[in-house]
């Protein structure tokens, strides 16, 4: 009986039913997420309208929120978040697949300018909630370490000039399929999997620990004391950023440097990196010389830098975020807490914000 069902196309029927069930589940989940956003936006709108009518009564708003929380059964923080969400997006213009949890994290940022900047970055880079929180936490540490620089940033930068840093994870790679062997990269591969180290470099390596991995997956590599590598599934979208330790070879100008990059597996790659999101004045203008001198002085004091690259620009220069911390030998601390060179130049008026 089973063989007869298979021959009659039962497997095709089962596959279609599974596909429809999965698609329906995904649509239902997305509808729920969208409606959650609309609900809190609506709550924020009516609360804002009510409080504006009573704005001349001191401390009235806090009492209203407390009473509303007690009688309706919604936490005070949720009500305040709904209010802030409405004030951030009065016309309910949300971004992509950002959820209410994303916006709760965004609303913890100190200014509307920061909220908008990280909202766009989270949408563009498809950050999960955890990844967004990691990026915000790193930015908070950076600002707290810089003291007056943070205040200067707030005073100088316009909302569209804010530049969230992109901080990935070390030694995390995307799996790609090997070439077909026929000289045409557009043809399907021959089935072997390779690690994409970035910069057009692919490495064939035994995938110890993830034998079931497929092309498109992200893997994090770990090296043991004997020199052997093992792998584990990469943790979300940060894997899309190629994050490496690098040595600065030369500062070309205020927004371009030559670096020697440690791609892992004893593979080093020399690359010209253009600082993402900024544009410094051209040499040999006085402003261009100042920008280059600043970048050279800052990087000269660091033993190494951390570079997170995204994609080449129209001149085939890789766009990157550069982090450094003079006197710090721990790469993780440099990545998570170090100075962000792109923003340092922007804040000091040595470069302008551009979107590439």
Domain assignment present for 305: yes
CATH number of the domain within which 258 lies: 2.40.50.90
Rounded to whole angstroms, how far apart are CA atoms 37 and 335? 33
Arithmetic mean of pLDDT over the chain: 79
Rounded to whole angstroms, how far apart are CA atoms 202 and 132? 29
Domain finish residue from 239, 255, 277: 239
Mean pLDDT of the region 65-72? 82
Domain assignment present for 28: yes
Q: How far is CA 246 from CA 1, 243, 291, 305, 323, in A?
A: 64, 10, 21, 5, 10
Q: How far is CA 129 from CA 87, 101, 136, 193, 264, in A?
A: 21, 7, 11, 30, 28
Domain finish residue from 239, 261, 296: 239
Least confident of 148-157, 206-215, 230-239, 276-285: 148-157
How many residues are recorded in the chain?
A: 356
- So what's the pLDDT on residue 246? 96
Q: How far is CA 286 from CA 75, 114, 150, 299, in A?
A: 56, 31, 26, 20
Domain coverage including residue 250:
241-353
Q: Is 154 helix (H, G, I), strand (E, B) or coil?
A: helix
Question: Is residue 148 scored above 60 in pLDDT?
Answer: no
pLDDT digits (tens, 9 = 90+) for 240-251: 678 999 999 999
Q: Are residues 320 and 345 in the same domain?
A: yes
pLDDT digits (tens, 9 = 90+) for 109-143: 877 777 877 887 787 777 788 878 877 776 666 55
pLDDT digits (tens, 9 = 90+) for 82-99: 888 888 878 777 666 788
Q: Are residues 276 and 337 in the same domain?
A: yes
Question: Is residue 315 scored above 70 in pLDDT?
Answer: no
Q: Residue 161, CB half-sphere, CA atoms under 13 Å: how many? A: 18
pTM of the model: 0.61
- Cα angle: 139, vertex 343, 251; to 5 degrees: 130
**How many domains does one find in the chain?**
3
pLDDT digits (tens, 9 = 90+) for 255-305: 999 999 999 898 999 999 999 999 999 988 888 898 999 999 999 989 999
Domain assignment present for 142: no
Q: Are residues 251 and 349 in the same domain?
A: yes
Q: Are residues 186 and 86 in the same domain?
A: no
Domain assignment present for 349: yes
Mean pLDDT of the region 314-335? 87
């Amino acid at each position: 009986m089973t063989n007869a069902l298979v021959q009659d196309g039962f497997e095709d029927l089962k596959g279609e039913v599974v596909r429809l069930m999965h698609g329906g589940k995904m649509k239902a989940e997305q509808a729920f997420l969208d409606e959650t956003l609309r609900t809190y936006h609506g709550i924020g709108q009516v609360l804002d309208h009510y409080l504006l009518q009573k704005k001349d009564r001191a401390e009235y708003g806090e009492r209203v929120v407390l009473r509303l929380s007690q009688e309706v059964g919604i936490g005070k923080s949720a009500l305040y978040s709904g209010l802030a969400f409405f004030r951030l997006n009065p016309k309910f213009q949300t971004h992509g697949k950002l959820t209410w949890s994303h916006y709760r994290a965004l609303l913890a940022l100190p200014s509307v300018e920061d909220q908008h900047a990280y909202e766009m970055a989270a949408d563009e880079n498809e950050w999960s909630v955890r990844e967004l929180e990691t990026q915000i936490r790193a930015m908070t540490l950076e600002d707290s370490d810089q003291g007056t620089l943070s205040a200067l940033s707030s005073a100088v930068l316009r909302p569209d000039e804010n530049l969230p840093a992109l901080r990935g994870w070390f030694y995390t790679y995307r799996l790609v399929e090997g070439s077909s062997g026929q000289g045409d990269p557009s043809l399907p591969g021959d089935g072997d999997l390779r690690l994409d180290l970035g910069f057009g470099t692919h490495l064939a390596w035994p995938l110890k620990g993830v034998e079931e991995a497929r092309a498109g997956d992200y893997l994090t590599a770990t090296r043991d004391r004997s020199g052997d590598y093992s792998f584990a599934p990469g943790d979300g979208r940060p894997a899309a950023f190629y994050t490496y330790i690098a040595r600065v070879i030369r500062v070309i100008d205020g927004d371009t440097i030559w670096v020697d990059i440690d791609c892992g597996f004893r593979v080093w790659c020399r690359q010209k990196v253009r600082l993402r999101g900024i544009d410094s004045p051209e040499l040999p203008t006085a402003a261009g010389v100042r920008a280059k001198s600043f970048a050279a002085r800052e990087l000269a004091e660091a033993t190494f830098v951390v570079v997170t690259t995204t994609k080449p620009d129209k001149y085939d220069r890789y766009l990157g975020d550069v982090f450094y911390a003079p006197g710090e030998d721990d790469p993780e601390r440099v990545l998570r807490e170090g100075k962000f060179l792109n923003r340092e130049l922007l804040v000091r008026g040595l470069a302008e914000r551009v979107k590439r």
